[in-house]
Amino acid sequence: MENFKNITVTKGNKTLVIDNPTSFPLIGMGSQGAVFKLSDEKCVKIYTDPVQAKMEAEALESGQHLSFFPILYESGPNYVVMEYFNAPTLKEYLRNCTYIPLSITKKLLTMLREMTEANFTMIDAPLRHIFVLENEELKVVDHVNAFKRMHPVPLKLLRDLKIILLKDSFLSRVKQLEPETFQAWDDYFNQNTIDYRNIPVSSGDSGKGVKVESSISTPLIGKGHQGAVYRIAENRCVKIYGKQNHCQQEKDVLLSNQKLPFIPKVYETGSNYIVMEYLLGPNLNQFLKKQSHLSEDITRRLLDILVSMKKVGFKQVDAPLRHIFITHDGFKMVDHVYSYSREQPDPIELIQNLHERGFLESFFEQVKKLEPNLHAEWTETPIPLLNEMIEEGSYAARLKAEIENRNTKKNKNTARARRK
Amino acid sequence: MSKVMHLNLRVDPTQYIPQIRQVPGYDYIHLVRQPKYMTDLSLLNEKVHYLDEIFSPKEFVKKNKISLLHAHHGQLGVLLLPFKEKTNLPLVTSIRGRDATLANQPVGYLDNMKMLFANGEEFYPVCQHLADRMISWGCPPEKIKVLYGGVDLTQYTYTPPSLKGTQNILSVGRLVEKKGHHVLMKAFKKLQSKYPHATLTIIGRGELHDELSSLATQLNLGDSFRLLQHLPKEQVREQMRNADLFCAASLEASNGDVEGIPNTLKEAMALGVPVISTNHAGIPELITHQKNGFLVAENNVDELALGLEFMLSHTTLWEAFTKNARKKVEQSFDAKKQLLLQASYYNELLGGKRHGKF
């Protein structure tokens, strides 16, 4: 008889490391643990941290009377055996829906009310943790933070509903069904908007993104290694940095290049924030995913950016597709923290990105025609491509190594040319 | 000039650009759901916006002085309901085919459409057939105004049939079940013994490409059959001009999906190409049997084969049919007139609220 206890789950560098000598299939993996299917009724979640296993077991136990809870069968030092649901998640169930159904809204409100009554502090669940059974009964998994995190309003649920364009219809229904709940949420949102002059973002550990306070209701547009960006008005956003020197570096670049057409407008700065223009439009990576060929117009615009970067003395000359936004006012580029400090004369990331989109060959053909000198420069020492499959973390490391390697080679070539 | 905020699926040349950007007397905001749906750089201007990026609907409407919302599909009308609620603007919705059916629809679709019928001001189905379907779903008839899609008659000019003795049959449309390409191919096969030199060309791309290619092999159609991938509009027009007979074998798909009135039929009729089609959805509103074309029952290989044979063996009727066809298109499907009609629907709805001149 197989024993799931032989499965080990440990924290690896970036993701979990799983050693599974059994035939129980892996059905899900998160940051805390991995889930394996044991039978049609049961699954086991194995945690890397026993504290979390205990928290989950306790939460599950205390919520066994709740209709939307999975049945808890057994728990141990690093695992919890619970009910398995062979059903779509709420996100899948609502696919292509353009107005949230009344029945689902009522069930979600009941679920949230029962969480409150059970004294949970986390009155929330992301769509991927909610399962919809055949009779449209909802079941919710992952309660590890039920008594830990403070979410008096369903921030994750609303954030997920916004992504699939159902937040507005959900709120409209809530307003009708439970005006007092709607009012309470609205009050919370009005009280918890960001005061960017008084900043709650802190720098994460090395290699990790910044930590962001999840109770902030101001829309978070994105977060990365150096900072988090929030939308604060129709045409404005604020980037808040974990480290002041990053803020200073980016400020220097943005403020001294406001005349360049691809640099976003800056409205206000502080020691660790910059208020800038909010860029409306798809990023170039998104856009190119839908194109069957690369138009010369796009290549021309990319070259304009790279050429003017060189002209004004940027040390890092690159234009990753995800950093370029197509606005009605032309291409705009974000993320300039290292423009003056990182030595990188060739657009390695752009080349890599275009390769991933399948447009590298046409790009080079067009560059040859439009900017023959640049073409010669880029092809003299060919820009190498990185393995597409490398996971994000080590991709950055490889990229850094590649940049250094290439700079050394270039210096050698220049020295050789001088000797000649 | 009043401004209408239009929501359509994509910023893309195939997606009702004239009905958004060229309505006489009305300025526009061209809205799509999210930035990823802006797929054509040449159509990007300062009037393109993204629904999920609107920070405050009230301020947006005020700043842009919007007086009307127009959703270009049923499901998009439903999506705009919360926006309408917040801004108190009138909402009109175009209904184009599948949105009046339950084909592949998401959970709660019918309830949502009923809510749209109750809360939306007006509905512009692209044919009477879809209007009837909406009424059967409970849409108040007084909210419905049929708005046929039009053809640019300056581009699609009439040339009488040349009667050169060839039998080149053309069909244009996405390779999906409701276009009935498979029925046409089988009917064409039946024709081959009598017309060994006849050819069939289908232009389009879609999910059934591989299936239709194997059907061609299975039917042993050989060189008499061509399946061309999607071509630029100008080239499709040339293919139409050179065809002897145009066929749209439209039918109700097994999932219930239906057509409105295929635009390609109107285009062929405008050009002076004889047409044959089926008694499906709104098509009989365009084609009157044996007057400006030929109609057969949908999803019926034998009837279609007989119809094709009739048309090919009665070339003397072609000139009269095509003249009548051109007249019909000029009367009810002229893009210019249809845009004026759309503007007059807006005028009637906005009544005293409308500012500016028309």
A280 interface with B at CB cutoff 8 Å: yes
B35–A168 CB contact, under 8 Å: no
Catalogue all structural domains in chain B, each as residue range(s) with its CATH number: 2-150+334-353 (3.40.50.2000), 168-332 (3.40.50.2000)
Picking from A168, A231, A287, the nearest residue to B82 by CB comes out as A168
A414 and A332 share a domain?
yes
Residues A51 and A97 in one domain: no
- The tally of domains found in chain A comes to 4
pLDDT surpasses 70 at A395: no
Once rounded to an integer, what is the mean pLDDT over residues A300-308?
A: 96
State the residue range of the domain holding A180.
Answer: 90-191
What are the chain A neighbours of B33 within 8 Å (beta carbons)?
A: 165
Q: What is the pLDDT of residue B144?
A: 97
Q: Per residue in B149-172, pLDDT tens?
A: 999 999 999 999 988 889 999 999
Reported as a pLDDT band with limits 50, 70 and 90, residue A389 is very low
Band the pLDDT of A360: cuts 50, 70, 90. Answer: very high
pLDDT band at A120 (very low <50, low <70, confident <90, very high): confident
Residues A327 and A248 placed together within one structural domain of the fold:
no
Beta strands in A102-162 (DSSP E): 130-132, 138-140
Q: Does some domain include residue A44?
A: yes
User: Does residue A376 fall inside a structural domain?
Assistant: yes
Q: Give the closest-approach CA distance of A227 to chain B in angstroms.
A: 21
Domain assignment present for residue A209? The answer is: no
Q: Which residues contact B351 (CB under 8 A, 6 or more apart)?
A: none
Assigned domain for A206 exists: no
| Residue from the list A168, A169, A281 with its beta carbon closest to the beta carbon of B38 | A281
Q: What does the mean pLDDT of chain B come to?
A: 94
Instruction: Give B129's contacts (C-beta < 8 A, 6+ positions apart).
Output: B258, B260, B281, B282, B285
Residues A179 and A96 in one domain: yes
Give yes or no for B15 touching A (CB within 8 A).
no
Most confident of A240-254, A391-405, B22-36: B22-36
How close A13 gets to chain B, by Cα (Å)?
Answer: 33
Do A273 and A296 share a domain, yes or no?
no
Model confidence band, residue B47 (pLDDT cutoffs 50, 70, 90): very high
Give the pLDDT of residue A392: 47
Q: Is the pLDDT of residue A207 over 80?
A: no
pLDDT tens for A53-103 read 999 999 999 899 999 999 999 999 999 999 999 999 999 999 999 999 999
User: Is residue B58 predicted with pLDDT exceeding 70?
Assistant: yes
Confidence of residue A387 (pLDDT cuts 50, 70, 90): low
> Is some CB atom of chain B closer than 8 A to the CB atom of A98?
yes
Q: Which residues of A touch B35 (CB under 8 A)?
A: 280-283, 286
Q: Is B254 on the interface with A (CB under 8 A)?
A: no
Residue A196 lies in a domain: no
Please indicate, yes or no, whether residues A167 and A231 belong to a single structural domain of this protein: no
The pLDDT of residue A411 is 55
Q: Which candidate, A163, A113, A110, places its Cα nearest to that of A138?
A: A110
Q: What pLDDT, on the 0 to 100 scale, is given for residue A410? A: 57
For the purposes of burial, counting CB atoms within 10 Å of the CB of B185, is it exposed (0-12), middle (13-18) or buried (19 or more)?
buried
Residue A268 lies in a domain: yes
The tens digit of pLDDT for each residue in B257-270 reads: 999 999 999 999 99
B314-348 pLDDT per residue, tens: 999 999 999 999 999 999 999 999 999 999 999 99
**Closest alpha carbon within chain B to A297:** B41
Q: What is the CATH number for A263?
A: 3.30.200.20
pLDDT at B63 over 80: yes
Residue A386 clears pLDDT 80, i.e. is over it:
no
Which of the 8 DSSP states describes residue A40? S
Residue of B41, B56, B63, B86 to mutate, testing the A interface (most A Cβ within 10 Å of its Cβ): B41
Confidence (pLDDT) at A216:
72
Which of B320, B329, B183 is CA-nearest to residue B263?
Answer: B329
- A165/B59 touch (CB, cutoff 8 Å), yes or no: no
| Boundary-marking domain end, from A259, A277, A295 | A277
In a domain, A378, yes or no: yes
Question: Would you say A151 and A215 are in contact if contact means Cβ atoms under 8 Å apart?
Answer: yes
Query: In this complex, do A99 and B33 lie within 8 Å of one another by their Cβ atoms?
Result: no
CB B79 within 8 A of CB A99: yes
- The secondary structure element, H or E, covering residue B304 is helix B301-313
How would residue A391 be classed by pLDDT, with cut points 50, 70 and 90?
Answer: very low
Give the closest residue to A173 by CA, choosing from A93, A92, A101: A101
Q: What is the pLDDT of residue B352?
A: 56
**Contact list, B76 vs chain A (CB under 8 Å):** 98
Cβ atoms B306, B276 nearer than 8 A: no
Dist. CA A174–CA A107, nearest whole Å:
11
- Residues A97, B108: C-beta atoms closer than 8 Å: yes
Measured CA to CA, the distance from residue A226 to residue A238 in angstroms comes to 13
* Cβ separation B112–A98 shorter than 8 A: yes
| Terminal Cα-to-Cα distance of chain B (whole angstroms) | 8
Q: A280 to chain B: which residues are within 8 Å by CB?
A: 35, 49-50, 53
Per residue in A145-173, pLDDT tens? 888 888 888 999 999 999 999 999 999 99
pLDDT interval class at A222 (50, 70, 90): confident
**B7 touching A (Cβ < 8 Å):** no
User: Which of A161, A168, A283 to probe the B interface (max B CBs under 10 A)?
Assistant: A168
Do residues A290 and A392 both lie within one domain?
yes
Looking at the complex, report in whole angstroms how far the Cα of residue A153 sits from the nearest Cα belonging to chain B.
21
Digit-coded pLDDT (tens) for B271-297:
999 999 999 999 999 999 999 999 999
Taking an 8 Å cut-off on Cβ atoms, the answer to whether B112 and A99 are in contact is: yes
Do A112 and A238 share a structural domain? no
Over the stretch B183-210, which tens digit does the pLDDT of each residue have?
999 999 999 999 999 999 999 999 999 9
C-alpha dist (Å) from residue A263 to A241, A259, B38: 19, 8, 22
- Does the beta carbon of A233 lie under 8 angstroms from any beta carbon of chain B? yes
CB contact under 8 A, B82 and A172: yes
Q: Comparing C-alpha atoms, which of B5, B342, B282, B337 is closest to residue B126?
A: B282
Question: Where does a domain end: A68, A83, A98?
Answer: A83
Question: Of A256, A277, A298, which residue is a domain's last?
Answer: A277
Residue A214's pLDDT band, with cuts at 50, 70 and 90, is low
Predicted pLDDT of residue B356? 41
Between A61 and A223, name the one with better pLDDT. A61
Q: Which B residues 19-48 touch A at CB under 8 Å?
A: 33-36, 38-39, 41, 44-46, 48
Mean pLDDT computed over B247-256? 95
Query: Are A267 and A292 part of one and the same domain?
Result: no
In this model, does residue A419 exceed pLDDT 50? Answer: no
Say whether both A102 and A73 belong to one domain: no
A119 and A224, same domain (yes or no):
no
Task: Pick the range with the lowest mean pLDDT from A184-188, A214-218, B9-13.
Answer: A214-218
Which strand ranges, in their side-by-side order, compose the sheet holding B275-278? Answer: B225-228, B199-203, B168-172, B245-248, B275-278, B294-296
Measured on CA atoms in the order B301, B304, B310, B313, is the torsion positive or negative? negative
A144 min Cα distance to partner chain B (Å) = 31
Provide mean pLDDT across the span A27-49: 91
Q: Are A160 and A100 found together in one domain?
A: yes
Task: Output the CA angle A218-A222-A228, nearest 5 degrees.
Answer: 75
Contact state of B76 with A231 under an 8 Å Cβ cutoff = no
Which of the 8 DSSP states describes residue B141?
G
Please report which confidence band the pLDDT of residue A401 belongs to, taking 50, 70 and 90 as the band edges. Answer: low
**Is A169's Cβ below 8 Å from some Cβ in B?**
yes
Which of B56, B63, B107 lies closest to A97 in CB terms? B107
A281 touching B (Cβ < 8 Å):
yes
Residues A191, A157, A29: CA angle, nearest 5 degrees: 130
Residue A249 lies in a domain: yes
Half-sphere exposure of B354 (CA within 13 A, CB side): 21
